[in-house]
């Protein structure tokens, strides 16, 4: 099990607490510190079964200033998230071939 975690995000911290209380072993990936590859991000999108645009934090200034309103392909959006990981919605939890975005954090319990 993995959690893609941003310690500065309250929802991500709440998601981490849920995992810590679950007594399952899991790996914490601080994706803002260690880069995420295009392949890894594509795999996450496949597990979530969503389009790249659905994983973007559209209220981030990086998005508004550089990407909002532009005609972008899925590959362009994935590249934007790889280059600016702050754009990736969080937390993301992966367990046994399933994944969820922990918003609200309680949804994480559905894949434990």
**Strands across the sheet containing 98-101:** 27-29, 2-4, 92-95, 98-101
Active-site pick, 1, 2, 9, 14: 9
For 108, other C-beta atoms within 10 Å of its C-beta total: 25
Q: Is 9 a catalytic residue?
A: yes
Q: What CA–CA distance (Å, rounded) separates 52 from 10? A: 23
Q: What CA–CA distance (Å, rounded) separates 35 from 52? A: 17
Helix axes 38-48, 74-83, angle to 10 degrees: 120
- Residue 86: φ, ψ to 5°: -60, -20
Catalytic residues, by residue number, are: 9
């Amino acid at each position: 099990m993995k959690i893609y975690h941003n310690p500065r995000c309250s929802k991500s911290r709440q998601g981490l607490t849920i995992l810590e209380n679950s007594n399952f072993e899991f790996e914490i990936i601080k994706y803002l510190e260690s880069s995420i590859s295009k392949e890894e991000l594509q795999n996450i999108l496949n597990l979530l079964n969503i389009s790249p645009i659905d994983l973007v934090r559209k209220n981030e200034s990086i998005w508004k200033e550089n990407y909002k309103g532009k005609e972008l392909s899925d590959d362009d959006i994935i590249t934007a998230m790889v280059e600016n990981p702050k754009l990736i919605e969080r937390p993301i939890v992966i367990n046994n071939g399933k994944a969820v975005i922990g918003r609200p954090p309680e949804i994480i319990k559905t894949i434990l």
